[in-house]
Chain A
Amino acid sequence: MHEDSLWTNIFRLKSGEKEDILTVLKRIPLFQDLTRKELRQLERILHQRTYKKDEVIFSEGEPGVGMYIIESGQVRITLGNEQKVLAVLSKGDFFGEMALLLEAPRTASAIASKPSRLYGFFQPDLFSILETYPRTGNKILLRLSQMIAERLRHSNLENRELRNKLNSLLKKED
């Protein structure tokens, strides 16, 4: 149906788009504690980037400065020259958050599998938000540490399990 531009709410689409960005951000675990006002502060400093299909977002070994949030599209995380796929991420997913805290080379590559729109959130932005809006910054930082602690706990359990398996294997060989 062709809508009459005189009667339809021509502003709806625009405000709808804005809503969408805040909703996407709200769904990211890192930002889930933030209020709408705080999300708007955050949105101002995020970098929006558009990637073509198969375009490299970052490569393994390159120094990384921050994380990406997928607004739309699909991203695959690959390892090594043979490009072994570790994960396929889509709308609302995020990756590279370790680089927010650690200035170390990227441990895997990220490639857009479909035309994608991403939000970049980088270490300097985190520092600047900590300076100007410490409440917002602290909430993000707290969530970030919780997520990393959770991941540490997870890999610790995995580590223990693997060690047990290794020990039982060694015992069997004896």
Chain B
Amino acid sequence: MDVTVNRFLKIVLSIMFLLAIGWVVVELSSILIIFIIGALLAYILDPITSFLEYKGLSRTSATAVIFLCLALLLFIFIYFIVPPIIDQIKVIQYNLGSGKSAETINRIEQFIRNNLPMLKDVNLDLQNKLNTAVNHFSNSIFSLVGSVISIITTLVIIPFVVFFLLKDGRALIKSMVSIIPNRYFEITLNLIYKTDKQIGGYLRGQFFDALIIGFLSVVALWVLNVPYFLLIGAFAGLANMVPYIGPLTGAVIAILVVTITNGAVNQMLMVAGAFALIQLLDNVLVQPIVVARSVQMHPLLVIFAVIVGGQFFGVIGMFLAVPAAAILKVFVLEIYYLYKKVNFA
């Protein structure tokens, strides 16, 4: 009897403990996300540090060298790229209010009404819907960064986290492993190693893939003379990290912008063609080379993960959903294989 009561108490206490942890995680999610982003960046940059170490630098100097390069890149980004992007966002908002795009949208409405008779009597009100959508979108870009904590804090904390994780990450993992009881120590070590092997390639691949796609999109949109090419290209690159939905969103936004600004059909087609070509290049050339050893996940699982991520943590959740799901999948599978091996060996 006592044993059952004890056991019951233990279960209740464990559940309460888990709930408490869950509550803390949810309450601190905005800060945790900064740390997660920092950890991800450090993880992506780790092989570069190891390479510099291999070239004879100490871990600290290797980290410092990477940080100097990153600071330079950040400076270039803030100095040369951010102002035009902000200008471009302002221009989009201004244009939506002006008559030029209203005229174009009216034309599209007319076109839809003429060709889709069933919509003849429905009030389409595209102008207003588009206005709300774009306003919402640009507001959410600002609020995304703004709400997480102020931009300055984020910009200070993330590099801080990245620097120390890059420099001391291994020692940190080692000291965390040292707390694990002897009984589970080797299994945990094996699990960390296997997860790292599978996820590392995938995450680094996705990151560099996004960089390449972003760059290609910017160049393509610039060549096609699409306004706000920097903003849309950068967005397309970032969005590419969210499977299936991302690439489509990038293209749709680019076409939408062309529609709003001048409505030239041939330009729209060219933009669509350019995005299709970039996706083709991505799938045939970049993905197989860059995203090596990617984690095999069913498309349904990927979409489910993206939706769940978006539901809980918004846009950032959508970006982090796939790696998180991949880590979970590797973890569960490894534990399952281990269990099978131990029990049936």
Partner of A123, one of B178, B193, B342: B193
**A38 to chain B: closest CB distance in Å?**
14
Partner of B341, one of A57, A105, A134: A105
**B52 to chain A: closest CB distance in Å?**
10
The stretch from B89-97, B180-188, B240-248 touching chain A is B180-188
State in angstroms the CA–CA spacing of A38 and B171 once bound together. 17
State in angstroms the CA–CA spacing of A23 and B120 once bound together. 89
Check: B223 CB closer than 8 A to any chain A CB: no
State in angstroms the CA–CA spacing of A122 and B338 once bound together. 17
B186→A61 contact, CB < 8 A: no
Check: B133 CB closer than 8 A to any chain A CB: no
Within 8 A of A (CB), among B122-168: none
**B61 to chain A: closest CB distance in Å?**
14
Considering the complex, give the chain B residue whose CB is closest to the CB of A134. Answer: B54
B54→A132 contact, CB < 8 A: yes
Check: B174 CB closer than 8 A to any chain A CB: yes
A124→B345 contact, CB < 8 A: no
Known: A58-B186, A63-B338, A63-B342. A48 touches B54 (CB 8 A): no
Known: A47-B174, A123-B193, A131-B50. A64 touches B345 (CB 8 A): no
Check: B190 CB closer than 8 A to any chain A CB: yes
B177 / chain A contacts, CB cutoff of 8 Å = 47
A133 / chain B contacts, CB cutoff of 8 Å = 53-54
Known: A123-B193, A132-B54, A133-B54. A64 touches B182 (CB 8 A): no
Residues 19-63 of B, flagged 1 when their CB comes within 8 A of A and 0 if not, give: 000000000000000000000000000000010011000000000
State in angstroms the CA–CA spacing of A120 and B185 once bound together. 10
Residues 126-168 of A, flagged 1 when their CB comes within 8 A of B and 0 if not, give: 0010011110000000000000000000000000000000000
Check: A33 CB closer than 8 A to any chain B CB: no
A105→B345 contact, CB < 8 A: yes
Considering the complex, give the chain B residue whose CB is closest to the CB of A133. Answer: B54
Check: B172 CB closer than 8 A to any chain A CB: no
Q: Lowest 5 CB-CB distances: which A-B pairs, in order?
A: A124-B193, A61-B345, A132-B53, A65-B190, A105-B345
Residues of B within 8 A of A (CB): 50, 53-54, 170-171, 174, 177-178, 182-183, 185-186, 189-190, 192-193, 196, 338, 341-342, 345
Chosen A-B contacts, 27 in total, with CB atoms closer than 8 Å, are A44-B171, A45-B170, A45-B174, A47-B177, A48-B178, A49-B182, A51-B182, A56-B182, A56-B183, A58-B186, A62-B345, A63-B338, A63-B341, A65-B186, A105-B341, A120-B186, A122-B189, A123-B193, A124-B189, A124-B192, A124-B196, A128-B50, A131-B50, A131-B54, A132-B50, A132-B54, A133-B53
